[in-house]
Amino acid sequence: MKTIDELLADGVSGKRVFVRADLNVPLADGTITDDGRIRAVLPTVKALADAGAKVIVASHLGRPKGAPDPAFSLLPAAERLGELLGAPVAFAQDTVGPAAHDAVDGLQPGQVAVIENLRFNPGETAKDDTERGEFADRLAALADVYVGDGFGAVHRKHASVYDLPARLPHYAGHLIATEVGVLKKLTEDVKRPYVVALGGAKVSDKLAVIDQLLGKADRLLIGGGMAYTFLKAKGYEVGISLLQEDQIPAVTEYMQRAEKQGVELVLPVDVLVAREFPDLKTKAPSRFTTVDADKIPADQEGLDIGPKTRELYASKLADAETVFWNGPMGVFEHTDYAEGTKVVAQALVDSDGFTVVGGGDSAAAVRTLGFDENAFGHISTGGGASLEYLEGKTLPGLAALED
């Protein structure tokens, strides 16, 4: 895959460069609550602008239904990008219409424009190759060169991710090059002990990656809502905790495989339980108790790993040479149930090994809980993309850049 460094070496002054970024930032009443993904693409945008390119930044945001929706406008992201660049950023109120063409035509070398949410056009996410290709053709008319730097979207077969690179000279941006380099460290010539901590709500979201990691990792630490399906598979009462009963056979098989292959699969030994899910809006204190993992009351649900489990998991991470963490250990958004996630994050900070936070809620937790992002080896911008890469899947956006 050719990189932006090669593009810059060839010269881009005056060229229209289409940057497929991932500006899919969380918004609350139109205000960005986490600008991490915007900051992540900044090195690519700045390098191109400094080299005299006319930079066209494009992205999706949320899941609009193929039509304009003000709630999903990229305008706040465009404004934040301008603040971070310290220079005005033009904003086009459509994707491939008159506004987009006017914005691009008005660019001088070194200037940047953001076009509106790509998913406002149904061609972006169309299953039909022809419809997607037609939208890609219209996007290609805006630019001379394509730079893929939206790692959080490379697992999607979308027009701007998969079809557009085939229509223009294409290169990987700094972010994608970094992300792929990190993922190779997790899959090729891994330094051991290799410890993977997996959390989050649904075990079904992680089954494929567990399947792959059983042959690669030395230890798997399981937390979050997905842990209760494992505990149920051991025959434990899990009360009203998150549970995917249909996944119990698969989980049982994985536990048996782990034992046979000498992979240490570590489950919670105690949990914080409550009768009601906490109020995440008011963050009002809730009533909870700590119980052993095999003694969850039938009328209560597990909401975080307990103190003995936190200590256990920290010890299992302490000697790791490589760590991949994806998914919180509990309902970290509420103070009462954030400690498990905080302890895992701190263990990564304290580690002398190579530590990777696998995007998604894990990255959000790191920021929400006040950790210095530079204390980790890498914080991925794409949780889903990272997991699919580790599962061994071909990611359409990466395949398109490799051609």
Residue 37 assigned ligand-binding role: yes
- Distances in Å between the Cα of 263 and the Cα atoms of 196, 230, 266, 325 are 11, 16, 9, 17
> In the chain, what is the straight-line distance between the N-terminal and C-terminal CA atoms, in Å?
7
Residue 287 assigned ligand-binding role: no
H or E stretch including 389?
A: helix 383-390
Are residues 263 and 218 in contact, defined by beta-carbon separation less than 8 angstroms?
yes
Distance CA 348, CA 317 (A): 7
DSSP helix/strand/coil, 208: helix
Smallest CA-to-CA distance from 385 within 182, 202, 163, 154 is with 154
Residue 119 assigned ligand-binding role: yes
Residue 223 assigned ligand-binding role: no
Residue 359 assigned ligand-binding role: yes
Q: Show which residues are catalytic.
A: 37, 202, 360, 384
Backbone angles phi, psi at 161, to 5 degrees: -100, -40
Residue 321 assigned ligand-binding role: no
Residue 156 assigned ligand-binding role: yes
Going across the sheet that includes 16-20, the strands are 89-92, 112-115, 54-58, 16-20, 145-148, 170-172
Residue 207 assigned ligand-binding role: no
Residue 121 assigned ligand-binding role: no
Residue 148 assigned ligand-binding role: no
Are residues 42 and 80 in contact, defined by beta-carbon separation less than 8 angstroms?
no
Smallest CA-to-CA distance from 183 within 401, 3, 358, 362 is with 358
Distance CA 311, CA 295 (A): 19
Residue 360 assigned ligand-binding role: yes
Place of tokens 């190779």: 184
Distance CA 151, CA 182 (A): 12
Residue 184 assigned ligand-binding role: no
Backbone angles phi, psi at 273, to 5 degrees: -125, 155
H or E stretch including 290?
A: strand 289-292
Backbone angles phi, psi at 271, to 5 degrees: -145, 160
Structure tokens, 245 = 């009963």
Residue 138 assigned ligand-binding role: no
Q: Which residues are annotated as a binding site for (2R)-3-phosphoglycerate?
A: 37, 119, 156
Annotated binding site: 22-24, 37, 60-63, 119, 156, 206, 302, 333, 359-362
Query: Which residues does the annotation place in the binding site for substrate?
Result: 22-24, 37, 60-63, 119, 156
